[in-house]
Amino acid sequence: MRLQRSHLSTIILAAILVSLASTAAFAQTDVRTGEVPYKIPQVTRVGEGSKYYLNESNELLIRVNIWGRVGRPGQYYVPAETDLISLMSLAGGPSARSRLSDVRVVREEDSGEQDVLNVNVRKYIKTGDKRLIPDLKPEDTVVVHGSGWQLVSDVAAVVGQFAIVANVYYLFFLAK
């Protein structure tokens, strides 16, 4: 029994949609549910050109950034005594594919030069040694890189999508 071209195209379109939906479902390994969103506090800068802020209850805050493989990357106003683990927790925690052995804290020293601290959070988790975790300073930027498997996963997803497009092209234009 031979399928008509319109039936064949309907089957192919359905296969493409199922493939895209399943790829999207498997790609969302970092999505978390049931989290309380971070509420941006109302802050007032302490003095002209200062890197410190006060919230409604006069708590001293600093502004820090967190990028990369955490639940909610972004900019946060946190208490001045906040450490790296507390910020990562506030930002939703590391994703399943975070490279915790090489978390970087980029900070500007008083001299104006950039300093990069490499922090092994994995070692802290194994040992519980708080000396491994730095306190944050105003305007610090924390970068949580993805693991090597994250790169492999991203490339495989792109190659898979390309293969679908190539198959559709082949079936519609080259197959006789």
Q: Where are the domains of the chain?
A: 44-150
Gap between the Cα atoms of 12 and 18, Å rounded: 10
Could you report the per-residue pLDDT of 79-138, keeping only the tens digit for each? 999 999 999 999 999 998 899 999 999 998 878 889 999 999 999 999 999 999 999 999
What mean pLDDT is predicted for residues 28-51?
A: 66
Report helix, strand or coil for 106.
strand
Q: Which CATH superfamily is domain 44-150 in?
A: Outer membrane lipoprotein wza domain like (3.10.560.10)
Instruction: Single out the residue of 68, 87, 86, 85 nearest to residue 76, CA to CA.
Output: 87
Mean pLDDT is lowest, of 21-30, 42-51, 155-164, for: 21-30
Compute the distance between CA of residue 147 and CA of residue 133 in angstroms, rounded to an integer: 20
HEC string of 21-74? HHHHHHHCCCCCCCCCCCCCCCCEECCCCCCEEECCCCCEEEEEEEEECECCCE
